[in-house]
Amino acid sequence: MILLDDINTGEAYGRLGTADTSAPLPDSDAKNRDIEDLEGSTTSVEPEATPPRDPDIVDWEGPNDPANPHNWSSARKVMAVALVSTVTFVTPLASSIFSPSIEQVMLEFKSTNQELASFIVSVYLLGYCFGPLLVAPLSEMYGRNPLYHVCNVLFVVFNVACAKAPSLASLIIFRFLAGLAGCCPLTIGAGTIADLISAEKRGGAMAFWVMGPLLGPVIGPIAGGYLTEAKDWRWSFWVVSIVGGAVAVMSFIFMRETDAHTLLEQKAKKLRKETGNPKLRSVHDTGRTTKELFKTAIIRPCKMLIFSPIVFSLSLYMAIVYGYLYLLFTAMPLVFETQYGFTTGKVGLTYLGFGIGSMIGLAIAGGTSDRLAQRLTKKNGGESKPEYRLPVMGIGSVFVPVGLFMFGWTAENNDHWILPIIGTSFVGIGMVAAFMSISIYLVDAYTEHSVSAIAASTVFRSLLGALLPLAGQKMFKALGLGWGSSLLAFIAVAMIPVAIFLVKYGEKIRHYTIFNMKID
């Protein structure tokens, strides 16, 4: 048997027997005797020929090809990650910037339906439920950039429509459509990170990207509260449209394609035109038609969610935590306006608890994810596994129920206003730990189809994030803030063993699918 140092060029250098007779290895007789002892006979070791490369296959020009996004310069990678992170910040910002002004909206449109008031805020997340099912397959077929650009433009258009909405019904429809367009960076952003950054360094880059979906919903209510006081509720949408428009222009100028499948297909198309050889095709070309590719890609997220227990379990956990976030968002005005007498602007500041907690969680998770994964890899014989990303989630799962208990009972007892805000910061820490661990895990475990895995998770958590707040106000009125929050906390406590179980047995579960269903 022979080890190959360079499988791309076909150059082989002998380790046990030498392929270069001009430079024999020292002690070759001793090595041959060892081989005889092991195999029972003397065997002549011949170099194994590398299979000839199909001249019609288009691939990267070796492992250091500068066209491969993995080989881009650090500055170029930083620019790409920063752009994606900025886009990913703006769309979640729009999900919550509107929440402090909901009472003003209901007054203007002469409605007293509280469930409808909550739905106007959460309907945006319903767009996040359905959008990924279309965005994910299209990105795998046509690349990341076209999806970013189209969705950025549509996002701005629908937010302008929200700002000009003449009725409650039109506002709900335009909010939903804005959510459909806004789901794009959340769906394919992690895939872009995977295109650029190797697995062992992915944690730091993912931490930068995760800041968007975590800080956007927190900063939104702060800005929205003061905008509503100074102007009116429509200015929340105008600000989002202005920021979204600026980001869209930056993306058109600076963003470049990162998807390897798309880049190699573009390269093959160019070479076919230059050489006149119609047989040239990308190494990733499966020979399937566009219709077949789309059909496979569009059902893949659903199949992952339904038939892959590990994807379902992690998505369920993230959905519960994400649903709690938006449920608390709808409860904050009730708590701090009614019990503590805060103005609309000051209520917006109370969301800083989530923001500070998220930043603390981000620092902890971002600083430990790569190091912990590398340490566990070294400890287990150098074999890297996606499951080495999950211990951070297990630790963070403890913070969520602690934060919920603290928020509910301090608000119930009308304790100092800072205490329920501190409670929300604990929820923020746990949410970040879960979000980051799960996102990196899905990318590491399903690199080639990471966009579909993230889409499956996004659909599930957005659905719960949209629906759970609808029951929030009724629950708090029926049970009170203390026992209402405790009910949520007890569910979160029950989820702690699930997180620990997935850390321990996640690898076995990952390789199992219900009914042995083939995901791809």
| Domains of the chain as residue ranges with CATH | 1-53 (no CATH), 72-254+286-516 (1.20.1250.20)
- The pair of structure tokens assigned to 146 is 């076209």
Count of CB atoms within 10 A of residue 278's CB? 8
Kindly state the average pLDDT of the residues 290-294: 77
Confidence of residue 175 (pLDDT cuts 50, 70, 90): very high
- The pair of structure tokens assigned to 54 is 């199909």
d(CA 187, CA 131): 9
- The pair of structure tokens assigned to 220 is 């939104």
For residues 281-305, b (16+ Cβ closer than 10 Å) or e, as one string? bbebeeeeeeeeebebbbebbebbb
Kindly state the average pLDDT of the residues 397-403: 93
Burial class (CB in 10 A: 0-12, 13-18, 19+), 410: buried
Confidence of residue 9 (pLDDT cuts 50, 70, 90): very low
Closest by CA position to 240, among listed 108, 101, 134, 343: 101
pLDDT score for 53:
67
Confidence of residue 52 (pLDDT cuts 50, 70, 90): low
Residue 417 sits at φ, ψ, to 5 deg, of -60, -20
d(CA 265, CA 374): 34
Closest by CA position to 223, among listed 101, 134, 116: 101
- Write out the DSSP string of 358-392: HHHHHHHHHHHHHHHHHHHHHHTTT---GGGGSHH
Report the residue count for the chain: 520
Kindly state the average pLDDT of the residues 474-491: 90
CA distances from 226 to 160, 343, 385 (A): 20, 10, 46
pLDDT tens figures, 212-239: 777 787 788 788 878 877 788 898 899 9
**Secondary structure class of 6 (helix, strand, coil):** strand
Range among 91-95, 132-136, 247-251, 280-284 rated most confident: 247-251
Residue 357 sits at φ, ψ, to 5 deg, of -60, -40
Residue 253 has pLDDT above 90, yes or no: yes
Instruction: Please state the pTM of the whole predicted model.
Output: 0.76
Residue 210 has pLDDT above 80, yes or no: no
- Given the structure tokens 């620019």, which residue do they identify? 79
Closest by CA position to 447, among listed 260, 302, 262: 260
d(CA 344, CA 231): 12
Residue 66 has pLDDT above 50, yes or no: yes
pLDDT tens figures, 431-465: 888 888 888 888 888 877 778 888 888 888 888 87
SS (H, E, C) 401-470: HHHHHHHHHHHHCCCCCHHHHHHHHHHHHHHHHHHHHHHHHHHHHCCCCHHHHHHHHHHHHHHHHHHHHH
Confidence of residue 421 (pLDDT cuts 50, 70, 90): very high
Confidence of residue 373 (pLDDT cuts 50, 70, 90): confident
Confidence of residue 172 (pLDDT cuts 50, 70, 90): very high
Task: Indicate the DSSP class of residue 15.
Answer: S
**Secondary structure class of 142 (helix, strand, coil):** helix
pLDDT score for 515:
55
Higher pLDDT, 156 or 120: 156
pLDDT tens figures, 316-341: 888 888 888 878 877 887 788 888 88
Cβ 162 vs Cβ 237: under 8 Å: yes
CA distances from 409 to 329, 391, 420 (A): 17, 29, 8
d(CA 517, CA 468): 31
pLDDT tens figures, 121-167: 878 888 888 888 888 888 888 899 999 999 999 999 999 999 999 99
Which residues, in sequence order, are CB contacts of 139 under 8 Å at separation 6+? 147, 187, 188, 191, 259, 451
179: number of CA atoms within 13 Å, CB side? Answer: 25
d(CA 215, CA 79): 20
Range among 29-38, 136-145, 171-180, 344-353 rated most confident: 171-180
Confidence of residue 26 (pLDDT cuts 50, 70, 90): very low
d(CA 310, CA 442): 9
Confidence of residue 45 (pLDDT cuts 50, 70, 90): very low
Confidence of residue 92 (pLDDT cuts 50, 70, 90): confident
CA 12-17-18 angle, to 5 degrees, is: 50
Cβ 120 vs Cβ 98: under 8 Å: yes
Per the prediction, the chain carries an average pLDDT of: 81
